[in-house]
Amino acid sequence: MSQNTDLFSTYHLGVLDLKNRFLMAPMTRSRATQPGDIPNTLMAEYYGQRASAGIIITEATQVSLQGKGYANTPGIYTKEQIEGWKLITDEVHKKGSKIFLQLWHVGRVSSSKVNGLQPIAPSEKIAKETNVYIFDGAPNGDATFIPVETPREMTKADIKQVIEEFRTGAKNAIEAGFDGVEIHGANGYLIDEFLRSNSNQRTDEYGGNKENRTRLLTEITEAVAIEVGKEKTGVRLSPFISFKDMNDPEILETIMVASQALEKIGITYIHLCEADWDDAPEIPNDFRTELRETFSNTIIATGNKTPEQANSLLKNNLVDLVGFGRKFLTNPDYPERVKQHAQMNDISDTHTLFGGGGARGYTDYSFL
């Protein structure tokens, strides 16, 4: 990679030409229209405002009602939801950016108070000290956090159904105008639960050794890539994140096994979701180098990077695109502010992060 490579250089992501290497990271905002978890014009305005990113990955979007873990998050499994997402893809494309939909199943991170269903997971093992949220009429519109429930261990039929839900979700996303899809295999949700030895205690071909624990990810990715094309398929992984009771000493080796399988399938990117709190562990460069040697297509890193850190990763050819979350949340014109070394907006009110305020704290952040 050229020494001149930085966030403002163009990039070819498979068949897509990106105007820069800023990626707007997926962020749950819980603004979908109820009932039905339907994307809407307010969401179209929000994403359209942020289309100065070279590419946007949407908030996590459930592939079924069973896959839902938080109130007011959007879906991609009904006709109404597909029509709603068309508003968003039209707006983002009109403003000159690309957009992928993130396909999501929460697995055990749910409660029957959210979707009326007992959660499902690789094993009957509850995620300790893990909450989800509902909106139960609090006067300020705030979300109310509630503990997750004990999941039911998935049968082979459940596994088959989930693979089918991801495949159909991908097909629906392309119908809704998306440039591609990202399979959410990170952050303690269903696919990540299968990857980790502490949450996956199965003894069949989906549990036990590392190869077996990566099987669900591989089968979902194969189904999606066959349905929409490998050049329109990305996967998100979180090797260094262990919240939601996901601490697994084997996870780095398992991620490498998964990366080899994803390389074989030929997907367009791996997106590393990296810890984004202040004293989070730094990802060692030898892990990045090994991933680069294992996986030949695009690598994305997201996790509270400064523009300087992002440019260093790009120049050293350790990643190809860098994701920014909160910075895009509060600064719709984030790339322009970086270019001008301009002052950044801060989060105006944490109550509006998840639902809560409609447009307030969502589409009312100022441009330069």
Is 361:348 a contact under the CB 8 Å cutoff?
Answer: yes
Token pair for residue 322? 């860098």
CB neighbour class for 140 (10 Å; exposed up to 12, middle 13-18, buried from 19): exposed
Instruction: Write down the catalytic residue from 46, 77, 133, 189.
Output: 189
Peptide bond into 239 cis (omega under 30): no
DSSP notation for 239-278:
TT--TTT---TTHHHHHHHHHHHHHHHT-SEEEEE---ST
Considering Cα of 274, then 279, then 285, then 287, what sign does the dihedral take? negative
- CA angle (93, 266, 225) in 5-degree steps: 60
- Give CA–CA dist 115/149, Å, rounded: 12
Q: Sort residue 131 into left (φ over 0), alpha (ψ -120 to 50) or beta.
A: beta
Is 63:105 a contact under the CB 8 Å cutoff?
Answer: yes
Active site residue 269: no
- Give CA–CA dist 272/264, Å, rounded: 18
| Residues catalogued as catalytic | 189
